[in-house]
Amino acid sequence: MRKKELYERTIAYFKEAMPVAETELDYDSPFSLLVAVILSAQCTDKRVNMVTPRLMHDYPTAEAMALATPEVIFEYIKSVSYPNNKAKHLVGMAQMLVKDFGGEVPDTLEELVRLPGVGRKTANVIQSVVWGKAAFAVDTHVFRVSHRIGLVPTRCTTPYSVEMELMRHIPEELVPIAHHWLILHGRYTCMARNPRCGECGLKMLCKYCKKMSLVDKESKGIATNIKEI
Domain parsing of the chain, residue ranges: 3-20+136-188, 30-129
Query: Tell me: domain 3-20+136-188, CATH 1.10.1670.10, correct?
Result: yes
Q: Lowest-pLDDT range, 177-181, 197-201, 224-228?
A: 224-228
**pLDDT value, residue 224:** 36
**pLDDT value, residue 207:** 92
**pLDDT value, residue 210:** 87
Give the closest residue to 120 by CA, choosing from 172, 162, 174: 162
Q: What is the mean pLDDT of the chain?
A: 93
Instruction: For the chain, give the percent of residues with pLDDT over 70.
Output: 93
Q: Would you say the CATH fold of 30-129 matches that of 3-20+136-188?
A: no
Task: Please give the average per-residue pLDDT across 115-142, as a whole number.
Answer: 96
Of the pLDDT bands very low, low, confident and very high (cuts 50, 70, 90), residue 216 is low
Of residues 1 and 163, more confidence is placed in 163
218 pLDDT above the threshold of 60 = no
227 pLDDT above the threshold of 50 = no
Q: What is the domain class of 30-129 according to CATH?
A: mainly alpha
* Distance spanning both ends of the chain, measured CA to CA: 39
**pLDDT value, residue 229:** 39
211 pLDDT above the threshold of 90 = no
Q: How far apart are CA 132 and CA 116, in angstroms?
A: 23
Q: Is residue 187 within 8 Å of residue 195, measured between CB atoms?
A: no
Q: Which residues are catalytic?
A: 121, 139
Using a 10 angstrom Cβ sphere, with 0-12 exposed, 13-18 middle and 19 or more buried, the burial of residue 154 is exposed
Q: How far apart are CA 80 and CA 209, in angstroms?
A: 34
One-letter amino acid of 21: A
Task: Please give the average per-residue pLDDT across 108-121, as a whole number.
Answer: 98
Cα three-residue angle 17-42-211, rounded to 5 degrees: 50
What are the two backbone dihedrals, phi and then psi, of residue 119, each rounded to the nearest 5 degrees? -105, -170
Of the pLDDT bands very low, low, confident and very high (cuts 50, 70, 90), residue 214 is low
101 pLDDT above the threshold of 50 = yes
Q: CA 37 → CA 25, 63, 74, distances in Å?
A: 8, 19, 16
79 pLDDT above the threshold of 60 = yes
24 pLDDT above the threshold of 50 = yes
115 pLDDT above the threshold of 60 = yes
